[in-house]
Amino acid sequence: MEKELYSETEKSVHQRKSAFGWLSFVAFFSVMNETVFNVALPDIAADFGVPPSAAGWVNTSFILSFAVGSIIYSRISDMYGLKRPLLIGLMIYGAGSLFGMLAHAYFPAVIFARFLQGAGASAVPALIMVMITRFVRSEDRGKAFGIVGSLVAAGEGVGPAIGGVIVHYIHWSFLFLPPMAVLLSVPYFSGRLTDEAVSKRSMDVLGVCLLSLGIVMFALFTAQYRMLYITAGILALSGFALHIRRVKHPFIEPSLFSNRTFVIIVLSGCLLLGTVAGFISMVPYMMRAVYHMSADTIGGGIIFPGTIGVIFFGFLSGALVDRFGNRRVFSLGLTLIAASFVAASQIGDRAPWVMTALLVSTFCGLSFIKTVISNSASKTLKEEEAGAGMGILSFACFLSEGIGIAFVGGLLTIPEFDIPFLPAMGHEKAVKFSYMLFLFTAFALAGGLLYVLTGRRKKR
């Protein structure tokens, strides 16, 4: 009997390794879709006659549903295992991509299609995080998170380059086609992954709705700055906080919020990842305003060279974390990001290659930060908290990226950002981008300060 159990365990381990390879493949395409539309936003705004704050919702809608979906899939994995949630997510992702391609002539349909894509694509990184936390030894997690981080960063980096070529030579609507590559993995997952035990716990639908409503209202406020949105968001999130304390199986366990170290790490990651996402979404607008560049030049000539080494940085970050620890690698990543923002605020308009070089530094720092945040958060969780905890981390980080992009769209519509009042870039149309970079630097340093607080708490 023991021999049979052992052989079954070996078989399960082999299946998980194979599944991890395919998950890495679909992770690349799922996360690539987060940035592939970045360089197309100016063209979309022009085609539909909408302001940047509205065009930004092409990305924001994807990332918001991606964020909420990441925690939903993590919770579902605790109930139904990995196979069923993954297959459902991939099918939703494919359906959203097809719908977007067919209905691209209508702006609301494009937003809805992006929402569907995010709802499906979020299954992949969320379940990868759960797999690593559940099945990889603590001392090896740095390397595992580094591998995933490099794939995620590579997808984010290649996205603008692919998007720029498609937008320039074909049409931005064809950006909906590449994500359908993930459907190639459906036969493998359907036939190879085993069905896991089913829990009788029910999904907290009301909790999901309250949390989603609060997030959408807050994102709308960052884009349009109307008090109605922030008031509705606060009410929805307050209702969610009360609700999860009263139901038997809440969407998010209140006990996780009592783990203050985990909460602070999550908040630190949110500030840093959201800030970098905002910076990356700002670059196409700046390059278009200052240099009148086309989409393919921005994606392939400015952003892509800045991210070509991101795979190396991801593997390197995992090795550095395992060797030198989280704090040193985090400090290096934060320094690279903050220094890049400060430099960009002053000399970003000197020449296009300057911004490319600063993007290299930024993406390098981002790779380090992502690995450290994932590794640090996983070490604060108990085994039974892995699914929910890492789901919250994915949810919060992707949510912050969506809000960062919406925030940039809102800032671009504020006239006061065109009035010189601080040392900034010399080009007349670059002044507002300098001020945005000052804000990004402040947010990045605030995120770094929060992470430092986790070290002080551990010493007490």
pLDDT at 57 over 80: yes
Q: What is the mean pLDDT of residues 411-419?
A: 69
Q: Residue 116: its pLDDT value, please?
A: 93
Mean pLDDT of the chain: 79
pLDDT class of 201 with cuts at 50, 70, 90: low
CB-based contacts of 181, cutoff 8 Å, min separation 6: 29
Please tell us whether the domain made up of 19-203+251-459 is placed in CATH 2.40.110.10.
no
Q: Residue 157: its pLDDT value, please?
A: 67
Residue 161 to residue 159: CA distance in whole angstroms: 6
- Residue 39 vs residues 45, 294, 305, 423: alpha-carbon distances, Å: 11, 9, 15, 28
Q: Residue 3: its pLDDT value, please?
A: 40
95, 115 contact by CB (below 8 A): no
CB-based contacts of 168, cutoff 8 Å, min separation 6: 294, 295, 296, 297
Q: Residue 12: its pLDDT value, please?
A: 54
Domain range summary for the chain, segments of one domain joined by +: 19-203+251-459
Q: What is the mean pLDDT of residues 349-372?
A: 86
144, 136 contact by CB (below 8 A): yes
pLDDT at 5 over 50: no
pLDDT class of 74 with cuts at 50, 70, 90: confident
Identify which has the larger pLDDT, 137 or 97. Answer: 97
- Tens of pLDDT along 227-245? 888 898 899 889 988 888 8
Report the run of H or E that residue 121 belongs to, with start and end: helix 107-121
pLDDT class of 7 with cuts at 50, 70, 90: very low
- Tens of pLDDT along 140-171? 666 666 666 667 666 766 777 788 888 888 88
pLDDT at 356 over 50: yes
Q: What is the mean pLDDT of residues 92-100?
A: 92
Identify which has the larger pLDDT, 175 or 392. Answer: 175
Q: Residue 106: its pLDDT value, please?
A: 92
pLDDT at 19 over 70: no
Kindly report the pTM of this predicted structure: 0.71
pLDDT at 47 over 80: yes
CB-based contacts of 53, cutoff 8 Å, min separation 6: 223, 224, 406, 409, 410, 412, 413
Q: Residue 2: its pLDDT value, please?
A: 38
11-25, 171-185, 194-208: the lowest-pLDDT one: 11-25
pLDDT class of 337 with cuts at 50, 70, 90: very high
pLDDT at 423 over 80: no
